[in-house]
Amino acid sequence: MNYKKEIKISLLVLFVTYSLVVLFGVNNIFISGDCVAVHGGIFSRCLGIALFPDKFQSISFFLFFLLPFLSLLFFTKEAVYLAWRKFVLWYFPTVALILLFSPASEGNGLMSIGVGGDRESLTFFFSGLFAIISLFLIIYKSIKLRGK
C-alpha cells in the first residue's frame, strides 16, 4: 500500500477514535453537569477533563501526541515514515504492557527518575518520551535522506 494512503487511513482512524473519546468526556462533564458541581464551572478545567477523560486518559494522551506526528510524516519521504512506523510498532506494545502491569494508584514507585509508578504518571512520562523520540527520529532521518 502507498505510504501516503496508509497515513491518511491511520489519521482518519485516529481522528475518529479521539473524537469518540472526547465525546465521551464532553458527555460526562458538560451534559451531565458534573463540571459545574465538581469544579465550580471553571471552563478551562472542564475542557481539559473533557479532552482527556479519566477512563481513557492513557489512550487520549497517546492519540493526542500521535496525530501531529502522523500529519507531519505525510510531507516526508517514505523511508522516514517507514523508520518511524518501525519505532511505533515496538514502542506502543511495550508501553501498553508496562501500563497494563503498573498499579492504578501510587505505590512503591516503579521508576527512580522522579516519575511515580502509578498509571497516570507513567502515561505522562511515556507520552512525552514518545514525542521526543519521534521528533528526533523524523528530523534525523529527514536530514540523512535530504540529498537522496
Q: Return the pLDDT at 35.
A: 67
Q: Return the pLDDT at 66.
A: 82
Q: Return the pLDDT at 112.
A: 44
Q: Return the pLDDT at 116.
A: 60
Distance of CA 9 to the CA centre of its chain: 17
Q: Return the pLDDT at 59.
A: 77
Each residue's pLDDT expressed in tens, for the chain with a length of 148 residues: 688 898 899 889 888 888 887 777 777 666 666 666 666 666 677 777 777 776 777 777 777 778 888 888 888 889 999 999 999 999 989 998 888 887 776 655 444 444 566 777 888 888 889 889 999 999 999 999 887 6
- Where residue 127 falls (left for φ over 0; alpha for ψ -120 to 50; beta otherwise) is alpha
Domain span at 81: 3-144
Distance of CA 60 to the CA centre of its chain: 6
Q: Domains in the chain: how many in total?
A: 1
